[in-house]
Chains A and B, each alone.
Chain A
Amino acid sequence: MATLRARVMTCLVLAAGVAACTGTTGSEIVAFDAFAAGPADLPPDAAARGLTFTNGKHWTITLTRARLHIGALYLNRSVPISGGQARDCFLPGVYVAQVTTGMDMDALSSALQPFPAPGSGTADQAAMGEVWLTGGRIDQQEDRTTIADVAGTATRGGQSMRFEGTMTIGLNRRNRDVDPARPGARPLCSERIVTQIPTALTPTDGGALVVRVDPRAWFANVDLGELDAVSADSDLRRIPDEAEPAPAGNFYGGVRAAAGYRFEWLAR
């Protein structure tokens, strides 16, 4: 009887020990590689011959240079409510993946271009992605880092031109129409974030996050004909690094449009 009692007690204690040492709190911390690339449907010779397309203003554009500085990537588990209040630049607690070291990428190459440092996150479903276009801290006032650098040719009807442009997001993008009741409603940091990029992926350990950047979207609404030539005897038009004129503003808006970005997940 005493032996039986001892055995039962031993079994119960062992069971308690096994039960205590198992289980999980849910989810998982993951590390992954990160890459940037141009669109997957680029012609193989796009890097050498340029990418030709027609934009919404009926310009046939051949892009020969389309470089983008990406400051960081983030994936969110939730999508902001449409029509809600002005969004905060970031909301601690909603992020499932991050790549915090930036890089310059060539948007005319569909090859995977690695970020200098791997990303990290949790194994939770991401519903939205963000591309941060910044060279310094997201909330600093001035940033002279060239975010986008483009060059190419454009034709429409009988009109033909060369164009080029660089874009920065610093004090030149500061909100000049400040509502005194809400002076912080449109902070510079929100100008630097391309947000609401639809995403449906779950990071896994050892996988890879790819952000594909389509430079065609940058020119979707840019009427290059409205740009002035750099000189009377030149066909070169330069896109100003300002909110005006309209082509410059539309180019800025195109670079910041979610339509130009897509996230993919490559399993290990």
Chain B
Amino acid sequence: MSILPRLVFFASVAATFAVALPANADDPPPAPSADADAEAEGATVTVRGRAPAPSRGASDFNLRVGELSRVPRQNAADLLKLAPGILLTNKGGDGHAEQVFLRGFDAREGQDIEFSAGGVPINEAGNLHGNGYADLHFIIPELVEGLRVVEGPFDPRQGNFAVAGSAAYDLGLARRGLTAKYTQGSFATRRMLVLWGPARESTHTFAGAELFDTDGFGQNRGAKRGSAMGQYEGRLGARGSYRLGTQAYTSQFRSAGVVRADDVASERIGFYDTYDRRQGGDSSRYSVWGDIETRAGDTLLKQQVFFIVRDMRLRENFTGFLLDVQKAQQNPHVQRGDLLDLHVDSQTLGARGSARWRTKALDQTQELELGYFARADRTASSQHRVESSTSVPYLTETDLDSRLGNIGLFGDAGLRPFGWLTFRGGARGDIFTYDVLDRCAQQSVRQPSASNPPGDASCLSQQDASDAGVRYREPHERRGTASIVVMPRGSVLVGPFTGFTASVSLGKGVRSIDPVYINQDLATPFASVEAGEIGMSYARGVGRDVELMARSIFFQTHVDRDLIFSETAGRATLANGTTRTGWVGAVRATGTWFDQAANVTFVRSTFDDTKLLVPYVPDVVVRSDSAIHHELPVRIGQDKLTGALAAGVTYVGRRALPFGQRSDSIFTVDTSASLAWRSFEVALVATNLLDWRYRLSEFNFASDFRSAPQPTLVPGRHFTAGAPRGVFLTLTATLGGT
């Protein structure tokens, strides 16, 4: 059977489950949402009111934030550090998406990780700065109830961009009532937060809004943002529920960009300074979503729709005055500066749904799930170069109007012949369609017209002159392509035996290619990844009050077309195939008065053709999150004080850089101490407690910031500075709730 009939078949079946089995008001109420399989494996699972996806083995991390929310975190992206092997950096400022490194992948700003919040996708298909760009700043961290990170493409539900894995934020608010929080601290940072969780509603009914303002450390790192999120969860008959949500976010930020290490060493520029104060950006995101989950007989049905409006502008200058080389057709000019002004305006409409059927056979629970995912993106992207002296654009590099489509269908079976043996797996098929209008398709002419010279125009309307004269053309060109990929994925879980569960997982994932690379009828407009791992997990109670979970995983991943950062393009560009091999270890112990999570990742990432290391990715990442909390023997009135201490420690080994170099290592300690009395809490947070002066990102490339008499054209070390010590005081009051 060819692929298309299979897709049609799956679509028909999925549609049948999705449409033909409406919720029955007479059915009994929905079962508790804790996943039965996970319970059987002894895993830690957060009750969320919705059935979580079945575990895919040792690399499937259902992360309950819990008391570890006390560990200082700048934003929702920082929660990713609860999963092993993750490093976050940011070279673009406080409104720029975090760059994520995971298991030897430089996932850039989300290009290699599928992100979602409340089931709504975050990755932006067609974003010119990075196809799959995922800005998580709109998520208010206090509204994150849990996080599921799957490190690898092992779940058929994982779609586009799940190359290194996926991260799904679950939204909820455990603290009911009205909570007001105010933070003030270093770098003139202020944050105001209001949360509301109606006392008699579920934890998934909430509203929250924050305002944030900072001057930032050093030069040109100020930021302002506002974010609001709200969701209502209601009952749908006796066996289902629905959720309606909305979200709004807008920000403006400045960015220091990179500085050259030799300029810092010679004190031509300070460690926290900037070359170009025009760097920064604007970002906004508005979305609405709605979903239902209901049970019809043995079948659990889910449907979700979402609509997202997104706008982003970035101004970055990585190379100074290097790229504006005189072209023959241009009028004579000096180097005008390399500042990039990138703008993306997109709308996304999508839906997903699934039907999971459960039955008993061989005295075990057997499962089959069929589902779909669909999204349509309309994206307008442009990138200009801006003159240093006047701040006016002098060159249009890219001007795209893209219409992107993605429909994925999956089938996932959970077969359990014995209580200790589970086969989980299936396949996913995705179709990617591209319709790209390049409004600046003709940018140079080898033999321009003498009577009508193109001069300095960027988007030209002439082809090479010939004996017949100038041949006119429109400056635009439309390109389109479509392709289908089928990705098998599966896991075998053996256990648990006295708390131990062994697992083997294999899978294939894809990342669609940036529209800028699309040619007419390009055969495969995606990069594919093949991943495999073998792992062992342990989950069991120790004594009465301690829950212990540990994992050890060996993994290997191969990508046929990787993305490597290009300073000239200002984004990641396509490179050759790469392979990653490594090991992950993670442990979490949770007691009545403490919560400790720690993980370590070793990975070796190499290019397939040269066997040389892939630059920029960390080969060693160690992370520890600790929190202790207890009542204190001090009373005020009738109520005791409660105290808590928390710390987050990160160590990142020396990363490989281009030209045989290694970066500095990173070691940071973030701490917090808090006192709570009744509905009031005061917390003192110190980030980078040791005030370690470190380089958050390091690069080797050529730039010319005019720090030498003549252009610096050979690669040199550049870096973005990590934040110095910051101290912040937070006051929290909760009224009318728990």
A98 interface contact, C-beta 8 A: yes
- The one of B581, B613, B658, B711 in contact with A100, judged by C-beta atoms closer than 8 angstroms, is B711
Q: Which residue of B lies closest to A117 (CB)?
A: B708
> Which residues of chain A come closer than 8 Å to B23, judged between CB atoms?
none
Knowing A97-B714, A100-B711 touch, does A25 contact B657 (C-beta < 8 A)?
yes
A9 interface contact, C-beta 8 A: yes
A129 interface contact, C-beta 8 A: no
> Which residues of chain B come closer than 8 Å to A180, judged between CB atoms?
450-451, 453
Contact B659 A28 (CB under 8 A): yes
Would you list which residues of chain B between 256 and 271 have a CB under 8 Å from chain A? 262
- The one of B332, B583, B656 in contact with A184, judged by C-beta atoms closer than 8 angstroms, is B332
- The one of B326, B330, B453, B702 in contact with A93, judged by C-beta atoms closer than 8 angstroms, is B702
Contact A27 B583 (CB under 8 A): no
Contact B610 A26 (CB under 8 A): yes
Complex-state Cα separation, A120 to B712, whole angstroms? 9
B715 interface contact, C-beta 8 A: yes
B446 interface contact, C-beta 8 A: yes
Complex-state Cα separation, A223 to B700, whole angstroms? 50
CB distance from B584 to the nearest CB of A (A): 9
Complex-state Cα separation, A183 to B658, whole angstroms? 38
Would you list which residues of chain A between 92 and 115 have a CB under 8 Å from chain B? 92-93, 95-98, 100-102
> Which residues of chain A come closer than 8 Å to B319, judged between CB atoms?
92
Contact A25 B658 (CB under 8 A): yes
CB distance from B86 to the nearest CB of A (A): 16
Most chain A CB within a 10 A radius of its CB, from B602, B610, B702, B713:
B713
Contact A183 B711 (CB under 8 A): no
CB distance from B321 to the nearest CB of A (A): 9
> Which residues of chain B come closer than 8 Å to A95, judged between CB atoms?
702, 713-714
Stretch at the interface among A47-55, A130-138, A225-233, A256-264: A130-138
B193 interface contact, C-beta 8 A: no
> Which residues of chain A come closer than 8 Å to B447, judged between CB atoms?
181
> Which residues of chain B come closer than 8 Å to A132, judged between CB atoms?
710
Contact A187 B326 (CB under 8 A): yes
Contact B334 A140 (CB under 8 A): yes
Contact B700 A29 (CB under 8 A): yes
> Which residues of chain A come closer than 8 Å to B612, judged between CB atoms?
23-26
A40 interface contact, C-beta 8 A: no
Contact B450 A24 (CB under 8 A): no
Contact A89 B325 (CB under 8 A): yes
CB distance from B75 to the nearest CB of A (A): 28
Contact B702 A100 (CB under 8 A): no
Most chain B CB within a 10 A radius of its CB, from A26, A117, A120, A141:
A26
| Chain A 222-251 interface 0/1 with B at a Cβ cutoff of 8 Å (1 = within) | 000000000000000000000000000000
Contact A101 B328 (CB under 8 A): no
B360 interface contact, C-beta 8 A: no
Contact A185 B657 (CB under 8 A): no
> Which residues of chain B come closer than 8 Å to A93, judged between CB atoms?
568, 702
A1 interface contact, C-beta 8 A: no
Contact A16 B613 (CB under 8 A): no
Contact B710 A182 (CB under 8 A): no
B327 interface contact, C-beta 8 A: yes
Contact A184 B659 (CB under 8 A): no
| Chain B 528-541 interface 0/1 with A at a Cβ cutoff of 8 Å (1 = within) | 00000000000000
B448 interface contact, C-beta 8 A: yes
B603 interface contact, C-beta 8 A: yes
> Which residues of chain A come closer than 8 Å to B448, judged between CB atoms?
181-182
- The one of A121, A185, A189 in contact with B714, judged by C-beta atoms closer than 8 angstroms, is A121
- The one of A71, A100, A122, A189 in contact with B712, judged by C-beta atoms closer than 8 angstroms, is A100
Complex-state Cα separation, A100 to B322, whole angstroms? 14
B725 interface contact, C-beta 8 A: no
CB distance from A20 to the nearest CB of B (A): 4
B554 interface contact, C-beta 8 A: yes
A86 interface contact, C-beta 8 A: yes
> Which residues of chain B come closer than 8 Å to A25, judged between CB atoms?
612-615, 656-661
Contact B325 A88 (CB under 8 A): yes
CB distance from A109 to the nearest CB of B (A): 23
Knowing A85-B328, A122-B715 touch, does A28 contact B585 (C-beta < 8 A)?
no
Q: Which residue of A lies closest to B602 (CB)?
A: A20
Complex-state Cα separation, A12 to B615, whole angstroms? 24
Q: Which residue of A lies closest to B709 (CB)?
A: A101
Contact A19 B714 (CB under 8 A): no
Q: What is the size, in residues, of chain B's interface with A at 8 Å between Cβ atoms?
A: 61
Would you list which residues of chain B between 649 and 690 have a CB under 8 Å from chain A? 653, 656-661
| Chain A 162-188 interface 0/1 with B at a Cβ cutoff of 8 Å (1 = within) | 000000000000000001111111011
Q: Which residue of B lies closest to A5 (CB)?
A: B536
Contact A96 B710 (CB under 8 A): no
Most chain A CB within a 10 A radius of its CB, from B333, B582, B585, B619:
B619
Contact A138 B710 (CB under 8 A): yes
Contact B708 A100 (CB under 8 A): yes
Complex-state Cα separation, A182 to B329, whole angstroms? 4
> Which residues of chain B come closer than 8 Å to A141, judged between CB atoms?
332, 334
Knowing A29-B659, A138-B710 touch, does A92 contact B582 (C-beta < 8 A)?
no
Knowing A92-B319, A92-B702, A101-B708 touch, does A24 contact B656 (C-beta < 8 A)?
yes
> Which residues of chain B come closer than 8 Å to A74, judged between CB atoms?
713
CB distance from B311 to the nearest CB of A (A): 31
Contact A17 B620 (CB under 8 A): yes
Complex-state Cα separation, A86 to B329, whole angstroms? 10
Would you list which residues of chain A between 48 and 103 have a CB under 8 Å from chain B? 71-72, 74, 85-86, 88-93, 95-98, 100-102
A21 interface contact, C-beta 8 A: yes
Q: Which residue of A lies closest to B581 (CB)?
A: A19
Would you list which residues of chain B between 682 and 738 have a CB under 8 Å from chain A? 700, 702, 708-717
A200 interface contact, C-beta 8 A: no
B335 interface contact, C-beta 8 A: yes
Knowing A13-B583, A101-B710, A122-B714 touch, does A20 contact B604 (C-beta < 8 A)?
yes
> Which residues of chain A come closer than 8 Å to B332, judged between CB atoms?
141, 183-184, 187-188
Knowing A20-B602, A25-B656, A122-B714 touch, does A183 contact B708 (C-beta < 8 A)?
no
> Which residues of chain A come closer than 8 Å to B660, judged between CB atoms?
24-29, 123
> Which residues of chain A come closer than 8 Å to B714, judged between CB atoms?
95-98, 120-122
Contact B554 A12 (CB under 8 A): yes
CB distance from A88 to the nearest CB of B (A): 4
Complex-state Cα separation, A97 to B583, whole angstroms? 39
Q: Which residue of B lies closest to A134 (CB)?
A: B710
B299 interface contact, C-beta 8 A: no
Most chain A CB within a 10 A radius of its CB, from B329, B581, B585, B614:
B329
- The one of A24, A85, A188 in contact with B613, judged by C-beta atoms closer than 8 angstroms, is A24
Most chain A CB within a 10 A radius of its CB, from B448, B552, B583, B657:
B583
Contact A71 B653 (CB under 8 A): no
Complex-state Cα separation, A182 to B453, whole angstroms? 8
Q: Which residue of B lies closest to A93 (CB)?
A: B702
Knowing A92-B713, A102-B709 touch, does A20 contact B326 (C-beta < 8 A)?
no
CB distance from B81 to the nearest CB of A (A): 19
Contact B711 A138 (CB under 8 A): yes
Q: Which residue of B lies closest to A76 (CB)?
A: B713
B606 interface contact, C-beta 8 A: yes
B449 interface contact, C-beta 8 A: yes
Contact B620 A21 (CB under 8 A): yes
| Chain B 298-310 interface 0/1 with A at a Cβ cutoff of 8 Å (1 = within) | 0000000000000
Complex-state Cα separation, A16 to B583, whole angstroms? 6
Contact B334 A9 (CB under 8 A): no
- The one of B327, B554, B613 in contact with A88, judged by C-beta atoms closer than 8 angstroms, is B327
> Which residues of chain A come closer than 8 Å to B527, judged between CB atoms?
none
A93-B568, A100-B711 known, 18 other contacts, Cβ within 8 Å: A13-B583, A17-B602, A20-B619, A21-B619, A25-B656, A25-B659, A26-B612, A28-B659, A88-B326, A96-B714, A98-B712, A120-B262, A139-B335, A181-B449, A181-B450, A182-B328, A184-B326, A184-B329
15 A–B contact pairs at CB < 8 A?
Answer: A12-B583, A13-B552, A23-B613, A24-B656, A25-B658, A25-B660, A27-B658, A28-B661, A71-B709, A85-B328, A95-B714, A100-B710, A120-B716, A181-B447, A183-B331
